[in-house]
Amino acid sequence: MTIFPDIKPYDSGRLATGDGHELYWERCGKPGGIPLVWLHGGPGSGCTAAHRRFFDPERFDVLLFDQRGCGRSTPKFSLENNSTAHLISDIERLREMCGVERWIVAGASWGSTLALAYAEAHPEAVSGVLVTAVFLSTDEELAWWHCYPGAPSLFPDAFETFLHGGAAPEASGLPAFFEHSLGEMQAEIGRGMEMLKSLEDPTAALESLRRSLLYRWTEYEERISWLNTTPDGVRESLAARGAEFVACHSLIEAHYFANRCFLEADQLVREAGRLDAIPVEIVQSRYDVVCPPQAAMRLKAACPHARLSLVTHNGHAMTDAVHPAFQTAASRLADPA
């Protein structure tokens, strides 16, 4: 059982939010099928053609969209009016645009955060929740990623490259670290993106970005996303996605982290009771270093009715190793009886 064959959208368009943003959206699968919205990670990663392949196209009517400031949405790199509350409102606008009363909300990594935040804000609009690589946006999770003795202890070489000679942050100093990182990235965007756009060779554009924090931020995340990754493999992966993706992902992610993802402390767990009447499926890799399984266990404890599937897999991303459990979970939500 693998991900489904490549498909093309049957419809696509742009939705103006009314506050300066315009969202790219697309629909794929079965028109009039089981409605489902897919929420991509990052924040700032955007949707890809691979995301269309996560759900059975003979059963699901899937809406995908690029969140504010990234992917094909405009304006690119915009942090203005770009918060979790804004994204939740966008999902509601898209649901109304599609004319569906309730839909399954699915997401991975940051997408799991947004899926939970949306479902807790609008439980009446949600028929099911499907999350993988769970991220609850807590200080502890951010400290695991950026501070010793967390992920940096497993990937000390990657972390040293990320720091670029700077000092490792302490957990208590993470807010200031994120604020400083965001400021540095904004300066790099201002200095460099016009130059990058002028370079016809995408490889040259990415190489010119490699010494920047914009590059090192996403490079570090990619390095720790797989237990068997190599620097060359990461370089090839980022080259395939391009300089614009790298800059978008790093800048918007730093913006959200500097603002604690615009959520109150432990908000998603504290308000999990709002999901009591909604089927919840959790699929989690045991060896996800970016989003370790403790968050999935906490979510399961807060939602006793949820089903948790732990998968023995060596990374953070959705792959053939994770997809069978993910597909089975999606099928259960499609046939709740």
Give catalytic status of residue 249 as yes or no: no
Give catalytic status of residue 288 as yes or no: yes
Residue among 249, 288, 313, 323 flagged as catalytic? 288
The answer to whether the Cα torsion of 141, 317, 301, 136 is positive or negative is positive
Residue among 73, 109, 112, 212 flagged as catalytic? 109
φ, ψ at 72 (rounded to 5°): -100, 0
- Six token digits for residue 255: 């913006």
- Six token digits for residue 153: 């202890």
Nearest residue to 55 via CA among 91, 103, 97: 103
Residue among 146, 255, 316, 323 flagged as catalytic? 316
User: Is there a cis peptide before residue 149, judged by omega within 30 degrees of 0?
Assistant: yes
Q: Measured between alpha carbons, how far is 332 from 337 in angstroms, rounded to an integer?
A: 8
Give catalytic status of residue 83 as yes or no: no
**Where are the strands (E) in the chain, listed by range?**
11-16, 22-29, 34-39, 60-65, 103-108, 126-132, 280-285, 307-311
Indicate the pairing of strand 22-29 with strand 60-65.
Answer: antiparallel
Q: Measured between alpha carbons, how far is 236 from 230 in angstroms, rounded to an integer?
A: 10
Burial-class residue 205 by CB neighbours within 10 Å (0-12, 13-18, 19+): buried
Map residue 276 onto helix, strand or coil. Answer: coil
Rg of the Cα trace of the chain?
19
Name the residue type at position 250. Answer: S
Query: Where in the sequence numbering do the catalytic residues fall?
Result: 109, 288, 316
